[in-house]
Structure 1
Amino acid sequence: MRSTTARPPDQLDDQDRAILRILQHDNKTSQRVIGEAVNLSAPAVQRRIARMEAAGIIRRNVAVVDPVSVGQGVTVVVEVQTVNDRSPVIAAAKRLFREAPEVQQCYLVTGRASFILILLVPDMASYEVLSRRLFADNELVQAFQTLVAAAAHAADVARKMV
């Protein structure tokens, strides 16, 4: 449940944004170190982080895993066009994509494609099997386009949110 006393996202101050930048780089940075960087005490940093978590600004803490180290060395971007954009078709496609562990990110988009998916697979043979199941033999999918990404991974090209 979101706190009613939490600051709305459009009212984040410079220190909140600085804390978020540090956490996005390394969410294990100690509150003391963060405090020194943003000129706050560790308890003040802890309160701000707790407030941003309660407000849903910080949704979760995750570990960024090197895909090659865990046998998932191929990143594939797939544009998926569903047979139509009616709610039952979109809902069924979302469920299918959510249940596939290879799907790392799924975006419902407008335009020619219905979805953009980011997948991690061990190799192209594995992707071929997966693409048949998720796309080619799927009655919900009208068409799909596969883009195989180069070696740059999300951890190598970090996106700054604030």
Structure 2
Amino acid sequence: MNELDHFDISILKILQKNNLTPQRDIGDSIGLSAAAVQRRIKRMRETEVIKADVSVIDTEKLSHSVTLIVEVFLERDKIHLIDEAQALFTSAPEVQQCYYVTGESDFVLIIFVPSMKEYEILTRRIFYSNENIKHFRTLVTMNTVKSGLDIPLDLLL
């Protein structure tokens, strides 16, 4: 994909705040026609700069929900075992985010479940049943202080 120019960055900044913003409004605010904005958005979707158009749900508004941060430590770090762990984590719908990281742990997962009982079931399914997982450490969130999806695009300019 070509480098993003300042128009692309401006479009992305607006879409990050509200992806339902009409293209003519985006164009008016950045000095492009609605058709040019539409072409740019289409290109960024096709090249997966824009990966998805979603609604962000406030988990605190949902009753009976628990968000957990889990560090996973592998027994062995062979590439095929890392790939297997990634496939396992990404196939679990409860795993909202998965990061392969440096440091003591191998992965950091953000997990959303309706209850701790459901988390126990999940741990049996994806952690205890996998011989390559040495151990895992769970942090239970008490309060979401900040949760954002906006990428600080001004840093790219």
* Shorter-chain TM-score tier: 0.7 to 0.9
When residues 90 and 67 of structure 1 are mapped into structure 2, their CA distance, relative to the original with a 3 A threshold, is: same
**Post-superposition CA distance 1:70-118 (Å, at most 9, x none):** 5562111111011111022112212221221101111111221111111
The code of the aligned residue for 1:160 comes to I
* Corresponding residue pairs, total: 153
Q: How far apart are the structure 2 equivalents of 1:67 and 1:73?
A: 7
* Corresponding position: 1:63 with 2:25: no
The share of aligned pairs that are identical, in percent, is 44
Q: TM-score, normalised by structure 2?
A: 0.84
**Post-superposition CA distance 1:111-142 (Å, at most 9, x none):** 21111111001122221222233223431210
Q: How far apart are the structure 2 equivalents of 1:115 and 1:130?
A: 16
Q: Secondary structure at the match of 1:21?
A: helix
Q: Secondary structure at the match of 2:109?
A: strand
Q: Which residue of 2 aligns with 1:124?
A: 116
Q: TM-score, normalised by structure 1?
A: 0.82
Q: Which residue of 2 aligns with 1:19?
A: 11
Q: Which residue of 2 aligns with 1:150?
A: 142
Q: Which residue of 2 aligns with 1:108?
A: 100
Q: Which runs of 5+ in 1 are unaligned?
A: 1-5
Q: How far apart are the structure 2 equivalents of 1:153 and 1:53?
A: 31
Q: Which residue of 2 aligns with 1:3?
A: none
**Which deviates more, 113-122 or 83-92?**
83-92
Q: Which runs of 5+ in 2 are unaligned?
A: none
CA RMSD of aligned residues (A): 2.1
Q: Secondary structure at the match of 1:107?
A: strand
